[in-house]
Chains A and B, each alone.
Chain A
């Protein structure tokens, strides 16, 4: 690689410090925007599209009307949301130019996502080196889907390794094997999701089938010899049946090996308010799983002789 790799870019929507549930130690997690999946429970809906997007926060809005006056598209008007006056954005008219963000006095509007270079991101990550080194932490690339930006992700991981950082990705594994190989080259730990073992249901829930995903995970363990942890976002009523959890555990044990652990990630509701902020309605009515239920599922996984933990 030449130094040009430092100038590669991707739309990044967050660089999260004190990230403690995305791999060992204290980490910095880089979230890239753009994802080929459309999981119905998505916790980061702002990461779906690869372009910058407008988010609005009704709770902070004071309905002062400055955005209404400023909007060149006349897409904003004062309406009512949650029983209080609030600036409402017509998403049909809005072109996400960001003029309203500049005039908003209450930080109730934000453009999420900005093209950033590897150099820029790495600089941000390395600011926390003190804490990363002290804790045996590192950098994790998450999303969105980091496989959707293979050149950038590969370059960022490479650059991080150059600085002596432990690297990890959080991924759906949904990509061609060639892309998967490219990105995983500089990865120390791959946190890979299995959202459902039944391909048809998988497609129904996420928009894509799971054959390629499962094949990539197998490939990561057996051919690339990567340290892999399987993660199951546990969504009540969708993939938390005993049958599916057993099938997942069986797959891990039989096809990946007993050394691969499983993290059960209980569904949380953060994504719901984010959908509202994006002007979308969430097509899911689901509750947060109970602690007892999560413990039951954990015991099921453990009955296969696998390591299992609740949460990342």
Chain B
């Protein structure tokens, strides 16, 4: 049976520090960028961003805390969050300046003098310097006629718009080449272009290389500053053991970033420091690590062979690395934490899978990563395990045992579905085989693609349930506006009212019309947004490593990467598919009610139609129970959505990539979605992942998977799909049980399933944790695309999780 080795005392101590330190808002970065932006209004674009990062790297406090070996910070104290007013929506902090310390979840310490400074300067960011006002100017004008449609959430209000984020840097290049050599290459290009007279449009390339040179130097400066701090502590240290370690750290920090890594410790430190700088650059949003086990293995094996390291020490270093990753967090608006609560920063790691030749790539680090997740019981970093036919049984067992302890870590991703999906969007076979996962469940090339796979942060989602609601309401959104007023303006195409529809075919055609229309609208806004981002926040720090940029002389935001795509995720598939078949069942097949009655019931949120509502909830067939007739709309909806999305072109000449996952937006999008014909009440959460409405799948896991497998065109969803399953712990106890669960999952993947993540916890435990949070401090659960400490979830998030069907005996 799989066993967890105990953690070292030092790791235990650091973990406790992590779990008991309340995050704090640190304004060091905020102050640096505010002063820099206000002093340099003449600068723009690449050079502005490069020089801003230079200022940050030269001045941000560098701290090395007791017992730390891997170092890097966002702020001036342990577990502090920086502020990113230059790249993120910041107005929220004006509203929450006094409540952020006490809000229901993800609360932050915010010192009075810091608050004063922020409040005295924040209007600059809200009115001119920040991202919101600049983006709004560039949004397509025709959006005004459709704002508030509830399908696509783009609007002119400077909402919670975040930058694109959601990518993985090319860590292999950072490790193997180093930023000294990249800077030299950029400088050489600069001189070359100067010698040519910077002809024609090469001025763009010229500025790009200048910016790359600046950010490489800035990053090297940051590393040297940490090295100096390590040396200072080394000289002052009296403990011989720690002194030796500080000596090694000094040596590592002097060397890495600038030069190629030599050792396993070098590699871990280089990865973390590069990630630290990317976050400091303002991109902390689904920043992922790519295939960590594949990068680290060569250094680990060499150190082991040459006697520099023991497996136990290597594991301890990996544990410490994980604790540093977990420490990074970003203070965001209350409304945003609700979608991803628990101080989550979505720094996904990928492990397992095949190598570029198609052979199993599992190695010692793969197992060490699972050990770290299992024995530290951390909700972050999330991990995505790539599965293929040749995945060793031992890895299956380790992964299922880990997910049992660390609630949903890792998630399981199928190479057999994802590799072809990436090839369909343009990656060649050997690159597709090297894919990694980004953010939550989004596949991407590893270091060679600019995937924009979270679309545009908060606006990446497409609400299929509301598309159906508009379809049967002639394009009107029947949900009142925020001020409670009825919306008088038609917001989508006119497709008639349900009461007048004569066949299910007509309903579905109306739905398709709405989807096609809003995909176009959504793409127009996304493209306009990306155009804005290119101007406001180009990314020379990422472009320095991502394959294709140095070759082409273009930033990733300009399409410099070798491969490009943009993601768009459908949500509420379960509600849409179930509602369509339910309309068929109620109105056209069994004639339980007329179209007019059902229409009125939906408009009135079931009031006055209680017996119909009851019938739907207790007697009618539902999606998710292995009943092919009830499941029949899944495939056509998915096909239509993929047709519409994958046909669109992004601003880098790239193809769009359809996805089907809500993460936790099913809760917040539920609030703006009226009653749905599957029996869901207005305002309730939408269906989770690609599952049916909560609690409607009553026939067990095999029936659910049979239904889900009606969605057998998942390979057309290269932006990812997400299936959450919750199992009763009694069904996952023995080795035999684990093998059987593995077989269940393998069967899903063998038949086209793309992604699966499981919670092995019973509802009784979750209820108890809700009542007595103090006793369940370390209960980690899978929420959607990420895991969280259950007690740190919002009340609504907790309720949603409890309401999901528990599968088992």
Interface residues of A (CB under 8 A from B): 16-21, 25-26, 104-107, 127-128, 130-131, 134-135, 309, 311
Residue B699 at the A interface, CB < 8 A?
yes
Are B740 and A20 in contact (CB-based, < 8 A)? yes
Minimum CB–CB distance for B179 against chain A, Å: 49
Are B751 and A130 in contact (CB-based, < 8 A)? yes
Are B614 and A16 in contact (CB-based, < 8 A)? no
Question: Which of B614, B703, B740 touches A135 (beta carbons < 8 Å)?
Answer: B740
Interface of B is mostly: helix
What are 11 A-B interface contacts by the 8 Å CB criterion? A18-B701, A25-B743, A26-B702, A127-B626, A127-B703, A128-B702, A128-B706, A130-B706, A131-B747, A135-B743, A311-B734
Are A131 and B734 in contact (CB-based, < 8 A)? no
Inter-chain contacts of B701 with A (CB < 8 A): 17-18
Minimum CB–CB distance for B748 against chain A, Å: 9
Are A311 and B733 in contact (CB-based, < 8 A)? yes
Are A131 and B733 in contact (CB-based, < 8 A)? no
Given known pairs A105-B614, A127-B706, A130-B747, the reply for A16 and B809 (CB within 8 Å) is yes
Inter-chain contacts of B618 with A (CB < 8 A): 104-107
CA distance A127 to B626 in the complex (A): 8
CA distance A160 to B809 in the complex (A): 22
Inter-chain contacts of B703 with A (CB < 8 A): 17, 127-128
How many residue pairs link A and B with beta carbons under 8 A? The number is: 60
Are A26 and B744 in contact (CB-based, < 8 A)? yes
CA distance A223 to B700 in the complex (A): 38
Inter-chain contacts of A26 with B (CB < 8 A): 702, 740, 743-744
Are B706 and A20 in contact (CB-based, < 8 A)? no
Inter-chain contacts of A134 with B (CB < 8 A): 743, 746-747, 750
Minimum CB–CB distance for A98 against chain B, Å: 13
Minimum CB–CB distance for A269 against chain B, Å: 12
What 10 A-B pairs come out closest when comparing CB atoms? A135-B743, A17-B700, A134-B747, A105-B614, A17-B702, A20-B740, A128-B702, A18-B700, A131-B702, A18-B701
Interface residues of B (CB under 8 A from A): 610, 614, 618, 626, 699-703, 705-706, 731, 733-734, 736-737, 740, 743-744, 746-747, 750-751, 807-809
9 additional A-B pairs beyond A16-B700, A18-B809, A127-B703, beta carbons within 8 Å, are A17-B699, A17-B700, A18-B731, A18-B807, A20-B736, A104-B618, A131-B747, A135-B744, A309-B734
Inter-chain contacts of B626 with A (CB < 8 A): 127
CA distance A18 to B747 in the complex (A): 13
Inter-chain contacts of A104 with B (CB < 8 A): 618
CA distance A301 to B706 in the complex (A): 41
CA distance A31 to B702 in the complex (A): 18
Are B809 and A19 in contact (CB-based, < 8 A)? yes
CA distance A258 to B743 in the complex (A): 30
Task: Find the B residue at minimum CB distance from A131.
Answer: B702
CA distance A21 to B809 in the complex (A): 9
CA distance A126 to B746 in the complex (A): 19
Minimum CB–CB distance for B763 against chain A, Å: 13
Inter-chain contacts of B743 with A (CB < 8 A): 25-26, 131, 134-135
CA distance A130 to B733 in the complex (A): 23
Minimum CB–CB distance for B627 against chain A, Å: 9
CA distance A12 to B737 in the complex (A): 26
Inter-chain contacts of A25 with B (CB < 8 A): 740, 743
Task: Find the B residue at minimum CB distance from A310.
Answer: B734
Task: Find the B residue at minimum CB distance from A27.
Answer: B740
Q: Please indicate which of the listed interface residues B610, B700, B702, B808 has the most CB atoms of chain A within 10 Å of its own CB.
A: B702
Inter-chain contacts of B610 with A (CB < 8 A): 105
CA distance A19 to B808 in the complex (A): 8
